[in-house]
């Protein structure tokens, strides 16, 4: 504590972290809705990557926009709901992430990411935040004195799948981009590296066109054909995982989540919930399998690097 007090910049760092997180939270919430909650991905990504000493600053940064939203609706949903809703969900996720991190590292001994940890933490945090949302909903009292909507399985599934897909959309993508950035010389991305990136090429050639086509098709189809188009949005995720490992799967999963979220026409739509569950399964298995692909590709690169000097000596 004494060392902390002697550091004149410590409070500035905490305020900077809280302010940056609050700004990013507002940005991700702006592009989110119940079927796709990007703040869940931001929350989990920060808990995995930000040092634990800054976690209180993250809680403050999330509390600011959450409390603002809650008290703006106090006249509609009641004071009890506003007080309960003003508690930032990140405080419920912190014990989960800390408990999991004590039992498993984020990076394995071979340098590969521990995707099993990310998937498990995403599942647990999605369940915790959905349970917290359910508890908050029970305190809701409408302005006319009537109770709030009852908690149903479709509502819980919308919250759970929205948080889980939001986490899988952002967290692996952030970590993958971070890995690629650190792999560049001096940590600087050059135009030459971007232009000759096979991952970017296949994203533009394979993932984007196929997902755009499927999204357009959903505008002209209904019922069974619409559902088939939604489920087919998982195919680019599989293709990118086979070609580029979990880096490709993470980018494609972000794009696929955006595509399927854009086809939601109503909240608590059973068909949408079913399609999201299938996509969540595809993304999960693709990310886990993508780690094996990445490990195999890394081994091939090491083998090629070892054989290159041998060929030079033979000449």
44-97 pLDDT per residue, tens:
999 999 999 999 999 999 999 999 999 998 988 989 999 999 999 999 999 999
pLDDT in tens, 84-116: 999 999 999 999 999 999 999 998 888 889 999
Q: What is the pLDDT of residue 308?
A: 55
Q: What is the pLDDT of residue 300?
A: 79
How would residue 24 be classed by pLDDT, with cut points 50, 70 and 90? very high
The answer to whether the beta carbons of residues 87 and 252 sit under 8 Å apart is no
Winning range, highest mean pLDDT, from 6-15, 145-154, 253-262: 253-262
How would residue 187 be classed by pLDDT, with cut points 50, 70 and 90? low
Average pLDDT over residues 262-272: 81
Q: Is the pLDDT of residue 313 over 70?
A: no
Q: Is the pLDDT of residue 296 over 50?
A: yes
Q: What is the pLDDT of residue 193?
A: 75
Q: Is the pLDDT of residue 312 over 70?
A: no
Q: What is the pLDDT of residue 4?
A: 47
Q: What is the pLDDT of residue 150?
A: 85
Higher pLDDT, 178 or 188: 178
C-alpha 29: how far from chain center: 13
Q: Which tokens go with 46?
A: 């920060």
> Torsion angle, CA of 283/284/289/293, rounded to 10 degrees?
50
Q: What is the pLDDT of residue 99?
A: 96
Q: What is the pLDDT of residue 263?
A: 87
The answer to whether the beta carbons of residues 256 and 276 sit under 8 Å apart is no
How would residue 31 be classed by pLDDT, with cut points 50, 70 and 90? confident
Average pLDDT over residues 261-279: 86
The answer to whether the beta carbons of residues 36 and 162 sit under 8 Å apart is yes
Q: What is the pLDDT of residue 151?
A: 86
Q: What is the pLDDT of residue 194?
A: 76
Cα(first)–Cα(last) distance of the chain, in Å?
Answer: 64
Higher pLDDT, 312 or 296: 296
Q: What is the pLDDT of residue 305?
A: 66
Please give the backbone phi and psi of residue 173, each rounded to the nearest 5 degrees, phi first: -65, -45
The answer to whether the beta carbons of residues 295 and 112 sit under 8 Å apart is yes
Q: Which residues, in sequence order, are CB contacts of 176 under 8 Å at separation 6+?
A: 246, 247, 250, 251
Q: What is the pLDDT of residue 180?
A: 84
Q: Is the pLDDT of residue 315 over 70?
A: no
Q: What is the pLDDT of residue 307?
A: 65
Please give the backbone phi and psi of residue 36, each rounded to the nearest 5 degrees, phi first: -155, 95
Per the prediction, the chain carries an average pLDDT of 88
Q: What is the pLDDT of residue 83?
A: 94
Residue 69 CA to residue 86 CA, distance in Å, equals 8
Average pLDDT over residues 143-162: 87
Burial class (CB in 10 A: 0-12, 13-18, 19+), 298: middle
Higher pLDDT, 193 or 155: 155
Q: What is the pLDDT of residue 252?
A: 96
Q: What is the pLDDT of residue 109?
A: 84
Quick check: helix, strand or coil at residue 150? coil
């Amino acid at each position: 504590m004494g060392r902390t007090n002697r550091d004149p910049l410590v409070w500035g760092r905490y305020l900077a972290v809280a302010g940056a997180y609050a700004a990013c939270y507002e940005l991700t919430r702006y592009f989110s809705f119940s079927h796709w909650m990007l703040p869940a991905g931001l929350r989990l990504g920060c808990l995995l990557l930000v040092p634990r000493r800054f976690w209180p600053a993250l809680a403050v940064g999330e509390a600011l926009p959450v409390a603002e939203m809650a008290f703006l609706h106090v006249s509609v949903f009641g004071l009890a709901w506003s007080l309960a809703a003003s508690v930032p969900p990140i405080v419920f996720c912190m014990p989960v992430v800390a408990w999991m991190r004590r039992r498993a590292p984020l990076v394995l001994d071979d340098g590969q990411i521990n995707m099993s940890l990310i998937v498990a933490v995403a599942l647990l945090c999605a369940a915790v935040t959905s349970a917290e949302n359910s508890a908050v909903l029970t305190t809701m009292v409408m302005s006319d004195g009537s109770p709030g909507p009852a908690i149903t399985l479709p509502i819980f599934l919308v919250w759970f799948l929205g948080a889980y897909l939001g986490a899988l959309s952002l967290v692996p993508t952030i970590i993958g981009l971070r890995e690629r950035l650190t792999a560049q010389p001096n940590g600087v991305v050059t135009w030459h590296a971007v232009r000759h990136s096979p991952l970017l090429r296949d994203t533009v050639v394979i993932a984007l066109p196929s997902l755009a086509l499927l999204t357009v098709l959903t505008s002209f189809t209904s019922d069974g054909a619409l559902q088939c188009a939604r489920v087919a949005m998982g195919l680019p995720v599989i293709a990118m995982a086979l070609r580029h490992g979990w880096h490709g799967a993470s980018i494609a999963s972000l794009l696929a989540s955006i595509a399927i979220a854009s086809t939601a026409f109503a909240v608590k739509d059973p068909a949408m919930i079913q399609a999201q569950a299938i996509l969540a399964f595809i993304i999960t298995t693709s990310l886990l399998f993508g780690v094996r692909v990445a490990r195999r590709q890394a081994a091939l690169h090491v083998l090629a690097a070892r054989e290159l000097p041998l060929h030079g000596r033979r000449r």
